[in-house]
Amino acid sequence: MSGIVRFLQGNEACVEAALYAGVQFYAGYPITPSTEIAEQMSYRLPRQGGKFIQMEDEIASICAIIGASLTGHKVMTATSGPGFSLMQEGLGYAIMAEIPCVIVDVQRGGPSTGLPTGPSQGDVYQARWGVHGDHAIIALTASSHQDVFEMTVHAFNMAETYRTPVILLFDEVIGHMREKLVMPEAGEIPVVGRLRTSVKAGVDYHPYLPREDGRLPMSDFGGEHRYNVTGLFHDMWGFPSDDPRVVHGLLRHLVDKIRNNVEVLTRHKEYYLDDAQTILISYGCSARSALHVVENRRARGERLGLLELQSLWPFPYDLVEEKCANARHIVVVEMNMGQIVRCVKRAVRHPNRVALANRIDGQFITPTDIRNILRLIQGKGV
Amino acid sequence: MSGIVRFLQGNEACVEAALYAGVQFYAGYPITPSTEIAEQMSYRLPRQGGKFIQMEDEIASICAIIGASLTGHKVMTATSGPGFSLMQEGLGYAIMAEIPCVIVDVQRGGPSTGLPTGPSQGDVYQARWGVHGDHAIIALTASSHQDVFEMTVHAFNMAETYRTPVILLFDEVIGHMREKLVMPEAGEIPVVGRLRTSVKAGVDYHPYLPREDGRLPMSDFGGEHRYNVTGLFHDMWGFPSDDPRVVHGLLRHLVDKIRNNVEVLTRHKEYYLDDAQTILISYGCSARSALHVVENRRARGERLGLLELQSLWPFPYDLVEEKCANARHIVVVEMNMGQIVRCVKRAVRHPNRVALANRIDGQFITPTDIRNILRLIQGKGV
Amino acid sequence: MPTVKDYIRERFFPHIWCPGCGHGTVLKSLITAVMELELSKNDIVVVSGIGCSSRISGYVDFHSLHTLLGRALAFATGVKLSKPELKVIVPMGDGDALSIGGNHFIHAARRNIAMTAIVMNNRIYGMTGGQFSPLSGLGVAATTSPYGNIDYGFDVVELARAAGASFVARTTTYHALQMIEIFKQAFMHKGFTVVEVLTQCPTYFGRKNKLGGAADMVEWFKKNTTPIGSEAKQKDASLIERGVFVKVEKPEYCSEYDKVIARATGRGA
Amino acid sequence: MPTVKDYIRERFFPHIWCPGCGHGTVLKSLITAVMELELSKNDIVVVSGIGCSSRISGYVDFHSLHTLLGRALAFATGVKLSKPELKVIVPMGDGDALSIGGNHFIHAARRNIAMTAIVMNNRIYGMTGGQFSPLSGLGVAATTSPYGNIDYGFDVVELARAAGASFVARTTTYHALQMIEIFKQAFMHKGFTVVEVLTQCPTYFGRKNKLGGAADMVEWFKKNTTPIGSEAKQKDASLIERGVFVKVEKPEYCSEYDKVIARATGRGA
Amino acid sequence: MAKRKLKEHHINREWCKGCGICVRFCPKQVLSLDEEEKVRVLHPEDCICCKMCELRCPDLSIEIETEEEGESST
Amino acid sequence: MAKRKLKEHHINREWCKGCGICVRFCPKQVLSLDEEEKVRVLHPEDCICCKMCELRCPDLSIEIETEEEGESST
Amino acid sequence: MERCRLVFSGSGGQGVITTAVILAEAAVLYEYLEASQTQAYGPEARGGATRSDVIISDSRIYFPKVTQPNVLVCLTQQAYNKFNDIIRPGGLLLSDSKYVKTESRVDARQIQLPMYQEVTERIGKPIVFNICMLGAVLGLTDLVRPESVMRVLETRIPAGFLEMNRKALDLGMDLARKVIP
Amino acid sequence: MERCRLVFSGSGGQGVITTAVILAEAAVLYEYLEASQTQAYGPEARGGATRSDVIISDSRIYFPKVTQPNVLVCLTQQAYNKFNDIIRPGGLLLSDSKYVKTESRVDARQIQLPMYQEVTERIGKPIVFNICMLGAVLGLTDLVRPESVMRVLETRIPAGFLEMNRKALDLGMDLARKVIP
Ligand SMILES: Cc1ncc(C[n+]2csc(CCOP(=O)(O)OP(=O)(O)O)c2C)c(N)n1
Ligand SMILES: Cc1ncc(C[n+]2csc(CCOP(=O)(O)OP(=O)(O)O)c2C)c(N)n1
Ligand code: SF4
Ligand code: SF4
Ligand code: SF4
Ligand code: SF4
């Protein structure tokens, strides 16, 4: 990491990373606390010949990036809870039609308009289940600007690799705070390009027929291959079909291409887990407070560890089970009423050892909050 | 049930029930397979002095019913997956502002446009988690027109009792098939009216201050009390507040008013559970095929039973645990890739005894399908 | 005799708007119009969306419904149709009304349902910190148009007219008396009414576009607008016209719905 | 010399449209226009929403994008702006284009982005079985207006004009030659173009409103429409005008964006 | 350009749905529907090759093949 | 109606944010801003009671109390 | 009675679905039986063969779709070709002589009646073709009494047309009687 | 160095946030330190007292908010009243003599400097008030070298204004030096 040092907001770090990953088209609609992403894009993209467009709303924004992805570009949009809710229909379309795109949700206090400027991590389950019908999704998060950068690049890579929308679940704290970012040099983080079909003009191209390795090469709109894209169940040419075999096959494909790759898709960090008796599991801004506590306690010789999740969906059940195998206490630190803690309970062998350390009043959870909750969990009272 | 006998579609039964429950305002947008609800409403409502309006889209529809609820009317809208996705932002508003309303989702094949005319039960988790931010929701379903009627009336009752949106999760099979409905007589099913405040004009009225019994009496727009309604976190007068205590309190209230009433809110049916070694758990159209199998097998002396869930959210964990305590096999029958089965696994003592009998090809799951899966589960092979 | 204070929720003042923000003048004129019309506070519902402008609903002592960005007119339609005797007033920001809310705007106009949409046009997204709106116009500087805006602006008056609004007017925060006069007509009109008020956002639009302080921006409204069809307009086409552009009588939606009920119940034609 | 068959996906024929559905005539005219302009199939992207009309995209042998109800123009905007050299054609139903899709319609028009929106106006929701649309008009019978429709209809031409479209025309399925001629102009126009085609849905609109069979409905278009500003129109105001209503040259969005890039990169003005 | 002369009406019976639009508007009553409700060419000799049937047919099931006056059909 | 005469300018200093709009457009330069950037009534005697300041003030912080000409302020 | 499963098939305009609904409704409202009716929806249903399933029984019906009908009615060749093989071995397959050419290999009691022809000749109104077909079904199965069907029709069509429908219904029953002594 | 936590407070237009960002950026880019900066957002932030938190340290900073600042700067009375009680006992509280009247009961090293007055008198441009304040902070804490601040300013403001800012910065440092011998 010998790159240039920058001091900027998490939202700006996300933009830098998207450019690093090769984003060429951004359509969006301003909303606190994600607005800086749109603002930066409007300034940066045209300088590299890319396109930025402010659409009439979030629905139009996600539709526009899907259209732009089909012409062969790397695309992205960013929003927050209310806008993310509006994007669900378009998100479902991108899943069904297998369109690579990246959607950033910089979380704020919900439900509804909620607390526009308050931090929260309340959209985790919406990211998984907000779309109607069965489906699978990839969602990443980050707790520092360096990670925001890395995860953003991964998001684009995964979107291209699996031909699917990828969600970046950031939060108000990360989005707005300023801290150091060491810009990775070109090549330092691998960048996956659009996989284009090698099928020659005139030869029958199947946009929806997976290769041996499961990937589906694409062909740009405007190119030699004229195929169909639809949100209806469709055959390997992209044409509508209600043949039960086709329907069953497509739905399984859409879900399995992600479910069967949990390990490859999982990103996480761990601190002092080897001998930890109490393991904190956290992500995003909450992980910063959690880590603060862990470092502190370790200095005092307490056997505390942290498992920081950067992949939220698909949820890394096996990883969590393995890491928590020997823990006496497992404390999930998140800023909602308990979302990831549900998965953790499903994952570990002893659900009764799992506790929740959270805050739902629009304030950033502090190390002190966590310490107090830990005392109680460990039976030490207040 | 000495009432008049009718032969009609499930969607029509839903309309009859809504009128029985006192619906006065319907705003909607047509979408297969829910359209007959709008069509019937447009015909029936004005005959009783009620209002029907076809809005420009589903977003406008849910907003309009919220507005009409505030003037003191019982309101409803109906849609299917794509429209339900578009309604998520408005739904979150109704949750936050505590507006009584009923939203029907007649499920079809998803994700995206999917299979507009194919049956499916794929929106179950979306109904729970489609809204951004932490929240709780009530969702009911039904497997026969008689139940559609009863659940629809309950939906209105719960909406009024808890000042919250209630979701009716029906499906294409139930919505479109025609069968017998014995119209309950007036009074046969209790109808809960709008609870209005007894606070006199001039006295300070608190639209968001729960009474002893937890209920929040309302005051119609146009009445003596002028208060504020917002989707922001708000105090007991309905005015925006970001005071951490207020935020925390409101969020807890919104969730607890439903979580703490699971038992009261739970509706279910059971068949031959007492001595059942294998218990099928099902709901909606799937429960019909499941029941068919159960009746059949019982006739042959097999110890098969059925637990039919009519309440999906809040999920009746305790009920399921209790009923399944002694079952050797628990088979969840649903038309999706496994949604309710997740909750069942969380609920029962031996998750490893839980299996899924499903179908995801757009075809209605048949008794034969279930029988075949049962054989396999019971280790009898094909 | 009642004063403005009798129509506001005093405990929330001073309001959150920036120094010199025109939204306050619109609030004042709205209240004055209601006062002069001697409308009862219980008969008025103010429905708003999200934005600095939309905060108006919290300051007036009427029934107030603060909704979602762009959706105010959809909520308002439910309020009005379900209880037509209420007066429904919908103050909206330009982004709120015509960007995300554009569809509800043209459909409310099409139905000619009796409500007043007040478009508080400051040509910018204030609440989110200065992005351009569909009313910013070409060349405007905003945080999302760092190289100058290339998006054409809507002409609210023409759009409302084409969509079917039966009363359409325009005024500015400088012309407070005209604003009050127009509001009074709009509130009493039987149909969908649109009032565009040119208002100033000194914090973002003013600063970004180097238009000086609030007073300078108000001065701009004075200098660059003129009554409809004035001589000045003939001479200088760049002037923006003020006044009532459309005022027609045509069947209103709620009354038409009463006829539907009459037909359905067989009571009269 | 190429024939229509070279431009369609023959294996999907006969198409799913009902006997006499006007959508087929629009399909035929669209293809004929493309043929006569000798455009390359690889340069054309047809983007549609949902509805009977939207099924057109599946039948033409161009790049085809069958999207979501009402959203076609938003998807199309992404396609066009990201690759301006493509010709983007957007066939839409009246409900698709102007009910749920109304906002994208006026915003695409406002930006004057070079695409052609073909509004296939059958005055009904066909795909869902005959509910009224924002173009049905007063008094129309539909499954959701059993007592007669009280919703005013939009005038597509006026709305498109007011929103900023730089080319706006109207024709019918009877006037196939004119349709082809207008399509050719529209496809070659540099800006947002709207072509409203009055088309017949015998199955729902025709049946519900007792207009006879498909041929009778086409006959109706013949009898009840007239060229813009014709004498006939002076005599009978009820006649619907056909032809090109708006055709103006003004900067197109994608070209303007190129200038933004030039400014941003310091290359030229 | 020399006057066009009819060479042949190509009718696609599989695609024709018998809506009768071509029949109704043919200036020369060249076309009619048969008992199976498919278009039939009754009086090819009267056809003036205006091709309106081809253009209006919603099912793309009529094609009018023409040749230049004088040109012989090989 | 008899000519109105100024009785008093009521200035709400808590609400005034000193935008200076009333000052700029007062036809008689009656108003000004003080060192704390709050509106101050400099020349009440010149006031012609047009009340434009009251109507334009975005912060509802000016109220012009008037009385009929001749009427004495008790 | 024991459970009877019927499938009515034909093309769009023939009123196949209405017929199915009328029969099932008659069974429920006027014969105090249980009945269910379902049908194929969607654009597919528009062109091509329409199908409607009816189950009539004296006990509750859970699974409403018909996989193997005891009674299959086909009013077009397309429908016949598509559906003839789903019939329950030995079941009753009714088709119209004008529209359908039957095949011998079908394992069922195949009955062809000149319903369309008779309707046009004797009543002259093809719209009641479907009612005539329903009459034939009743004549062949005695599922419900013709009176019950008429009572349903009374609630659905203007009085003026009742007579014509009655005629069509009887016509169908007569045609049926001729084939079963 | 040991970790330093600062809170800058004042009213909207005073450039309090910019100052915080400049300081933190200088620390990170030119002093190779770690730093974080956060601020209050939202309409509330518009009127009333603005606040920005800065932490500067030689080790990684996890929790970026400041609960107890070692250094608290208040540029308005409102800010002083709202925040003076959060200061770390014995911490440094810097305020401007024109805008703030301090209270004795505050447990901190309270330093008042006539920054606004001096800026207006000597430079005549109130806009650089915040830079003068930053200079004072540097003078009192030696957190970063003034050169580092200037290098940040070079990337942010037109060359023409650099001189004025340099003056303001020095002015602030001088004022500070006067009070600490
Ligand atoms: C669905 C959704 N998208 C975006 C936002 C963010 N947002 C809040 S207000 C606003 C626009 C405000 O601008 P305008 O309507 O012009 O009103 P102003 O603040 O200028 O008075 C936006 C984009 C939101 N609250 N909800
Ligand atoms: C979000 C959403 N809402 C509703 C629908 C249902 N729907 C499908 S097509 C359609 C309207 C079709 O009417 P129109 O646009 O006029 O086209 P036509 O079928 O008449 O050609 C509707 C409401 C949908 N598919 N998606
Ligand atoms: S940001 Fe602009 S619109 Fe918002 S309150 Fe300030 S001046 Fe008014
Ligand atoms: S329903 Fe109407 S619009 Fe749809 S295909 Fe049939 S005729 Fe055409
Ligand atoms: S080409 Fe013209 S004349 Fe010939 S059949 Fe067709 S419509 Fe008739
Ligand atoms: S009333 Fe008129 S003259 Fe008097 S202070 Fe106000 S603006 Fe000036």
Could you please report the per-residue DSSP string of D229-261?
A: T-HHHHH-TTSEEEEEEEE-----HHHHHHHHH
* Mean pLDDT estimate for chain F: 90
What mean pLDDT value characterizes chain G? 93
3-state secondary structure (DSSP) of residue D99: coil
For residue C91, say if its preceding peptide bond is cis, omega within 30 degrees of 0: no
Residue F6 in contact with residue F47, Cβ under 8 Å?
A: yes
Atom 8 of ligand 3: nearest residue by CA position = C21
Which pLDDT value is given to residue E71?
55
- Kindly report, residue by residue over B315-347, the tens digit of the pLDDT: 999 999 999 999 999 999 999 999 999 999 999
Out of F16, F50, F55, F66, mutate this one to test ligand 6's pocket (max ligand atoms within 8 Å of CB): namely: F50
Output the CA B295–ligand 6 centroid distance in Å. 88
Contact B52, B41 (CB under 8 A): yes
Residue type (1 letter), C109 = A
Give C240's strand partners: C225
> Given pLDDT bands bounded at 50, 70 and 90, which one contains residue E73?
very low
Confidence of residue G13 (pLDDT cuts 50, 70, 90): confident
Phi then psi for B309, rounded to 5 degrees?
A: -90, 130
For position E4, what pLDDT does the model report? 82
Higher pLDDT, B216 or H104: B216
pLDDT greater than 70 at residue E70: no
Taking the C-alpha atoms of residue H86 and residue H68, their distance in angstroms, rounded to an integer, is 6
Weakly modelled stretches of chain A, pLDDT under 70: 1-2
Q: Is the pLDDT of residue E48 over 80?
A: yes
pLDDT at H132: 97
Number of other CB atoms surrounding residue G98 within 10 Å: 15
- Give the integer Cα–Cα distance in Å for H163 and H165: 5
Contacts of C55 in chain H (CB under 8 A): 43
* pLDDT of G43 above 70: no
- What is the position in ligand 5's atom list of the atom closest to the CA of E41? 5
CA distance C150 to A46: 13
What is C36-65 written as a DSSP string? Answer: HTT--GGGEEEEE-SSTGGGHHHHBSSEEE
Question: What whole-number distance in Å separates Cα of residue D60 and Cα of residue D80?
Answer: 19
Assign H47 a pLDDT band (cuts: 50, 70, 90).
low
Instruction: Say what the pLDDT of residue D144 is.
Output: 98
Average pLDDT estimate for C187-198: 98
G35 DSSP β-pair partners: G56
Give the pLDDT score at H12.
Answer: 79
Rg of chain A taking only CA atoms, in angstroms: 21
Subunit contact B112:A122, Cβ cutoff 8 A: no
Q: How far is CA G142 from the centre of its chain?
A: 12
How near does any CA of chain G get to the CA of B176, in Å? 7
Pick left, alpha or beta for residue C210 (phi over 0 → left; psi -120 to 50 → alpha; otherwise beta): left
Residue range A216-261, pLDDT digits in tens: 999 999 999 999 999 999 999 999 999 999 999 999 999 999 999 9
CA-to-CA distance for G15 and G21, rounded, in angstroms? 10
Query: Cβ contacts of residue A146 below 8 Å, gap of 6+?
Result: A13, A180, A181, A182
Average the pLDDT over B287-302 and give the result: 97
Give the number of the ligand closest to the Cα of residue E10. Answer: 5
pLDDT at E1: 47
Q: How many angstroms separate the CA of residue C104 from the nearest CA in chain H?
A: 27
Gap from CA of B27 to ligand 2 centroid (Å): 17
Q: Is the beta carbon of D206 within 6 A of some atom in ligand 2?
A: no
Give the contacts of G142 (CB within 8 A, at least 6 positions apart): none
Q: What band does H46 get if pLDDT is binned at 50, 70 and 90? A: low
- Give residue-wise pLDDT tens across range C54-88: 999 999 999 999 999 999 999 999 999 999 999 99
Average pLDDT, chain A: 97
Structure confidence at residue H69 (pLDDT):
97
Query: Does the N-terminal peptide bond of residue B111 adopt cis geometry, omega within 30 degrees of 0?
Result: yes
DSSP-assigned letter for residue C188 = H
User: Which residues from F are below 8 Å from C13, CB to CB?
Assistant: 14-15, 59-60
Quickly tell me which residue has 């409700």 as its tokens.
Answer: E37
Contacts of B228 (CB under 8 A, 6+ apart): B234, B237, B238, B239, C57, C58, C64, C65, C66
Is ipTM strictly over 0.90?
yes
The predicted pLDDT at position E74 comes to 46
Hey, what are A354's tokens?
Answer: 């799992």
Q: Given an 8 Å threshold on Cβ–Cβ distance, is A43 in contact with C68?
A: no
G119 phi-psi bin (left φ>0, alpha ψ -120 to 50, beta other): alpha
What average pLDDT does range C5-24 have in this prediction? 96
Relative to the alpha carbon of E61, which ligand is closest? Answer: 5
What local confidence, expressed as pLDDT, does residue D268 receive? Answer: 62
Share of chain B residues as helix, strand and coil, in percent rounded to the nearest 5: 40, 20, 40
For residue F47, CA distances in Å to B42, F5, F7, F9, F42 come to: 61, 9, 10, 9, 10
Q: Identify the three-state secondary structure at position A125.
A: helix
F58 closest CB neighbour out of C4, C8, C22: C22
Q: Residue B102 and residue B156: Cα distance in Å, rounded?
A: 6
Give the integer Cα–Cα distance in Å for A367 and A98.
42
Residue H13 pLDDT grade (very low, low, confident, very high; cuts 50, 70, 90): confident
Q: Judging by DSSP bridges, how do beta strands E39-41 and E31-33 pair with one another?
A: antiparallel
Number of residues in chain F: 74
Instruction: Give the phi and the psi of residue H88 in degrees, each rounded to 5.
Output: -65, 130
pLDDT at H1: 73
Q: What is the DSSP string of chain H?
A: ---EEEEEEEEGGG-HHHHHHHHHHHHHHHS--EEEEEE--SHHHHSSEEEEEEEEESS-------SS-SEEEE-SHHHHHHHGGGSPTTEEEEEETTT----TT--EEEEEE-HHHHIIIII--GGGHHHHHHHHHHHHH--S-HHHHHHHHHHHS-HHHHHHHHHHHHHHHHHHHHH--
Q: Is H63 on the interface with A (CB under 8 A)?
A: yes
B129 interface with D at CB cutoff 8 Å: no
The token pair at E55 is 């253009």
Token pair of D99 as six digits = 């009910």
Q: Is C199 in the pocket of ligand 3 (CB under 6 A)?
A: no
The number of the ligand 6 atom at minimal distance from the alpha carbon of F22 is 7
DSSP letter assigned to residue B127: H
> Which ligand ends up closest to the CA of F57?
6
Closest residue by CA, ligand 4 atom 8: D21
Question: Residue H181 has what pLDDT?
Answer: 64
> Does C151 sit within 8 Å of A54, measured CB to CB?
yes
Beta strands in chain G (DSSP E): 4-11, 34-39, 49-57, 71-74, 91-96, 108-113
Indicate if the pLDDT at residue F73 is higher than 50.
no
Cα–Cα distance between D57 and A250 in angstroms, integer? 21
**Local mean pLDDT, 10-residue blocks, chain D (269 residues):** 94 95 98 98 98 98 98 98 98 98 98 98 97 98 98 98 98 98 98 98 97 98 97 97 98 98 85
Tell me which residue in D4, D8, D23 faces E58 most closely, judged by beta carbons: D23
- Chain-centroid distance, C-alpha A134: 19
**Close Cβ partners of D148 (under 8 Å, ≥ 6 residues apart):** C260, C263, D138, D139, D140, D141
Atom from ligand 2 closest to the CA of residue D53: 21
- Contacts (Cβ under 8 Å, ≥6 apart) of E51: E64
F74 band by pLDDT with thresholds 50, 70 and 90: very low
The encoded tokens of residue A74 equal 């790397």
Q: What is the pLDDT of residue A282?
A: 98
Tell me the C-alpha distance between D123 and B376, whole Å. 54
The answer, yes or no, to whether the previous bond of A111 is cis (omega within 30 of 0) is: yes
What one-letter code names the amino acid at G65? K
Give the pLDDT confidence score for residue H40 in this predicted structure: 84
Residue A99 near residue A105, CB atoms below 8 Å = no
| Lowest-confidence region among D73-87, E59-73, G37-51 | G37-51
In this prediction, residue B151 has a pLDDT band, given cuts at 50, 70 and 90, of very high
Position C98 pLDDT exceeds 80: yes
pLDDT value of residue H11: 87
CB atoms within 10 A of CB E15: 18
pLDDT digits (tens, 9 = 90+) for H69-109: 999 999 999 899 999 999 999 999 999 999 999 998 888 99
CA dist D91 and D55 (Å) reads 9
Tokens, residue D186: 């529209």
Distance CA G181, CA B315 (A): 60
E and C in touch (3+ CB pairs within 8 angstroms): no
pLDDT per residue over G108-144, tens digit each?
A: 999 999 999 999 999 999 999 999 999 999 999 999 9
DSSP state of F47: -
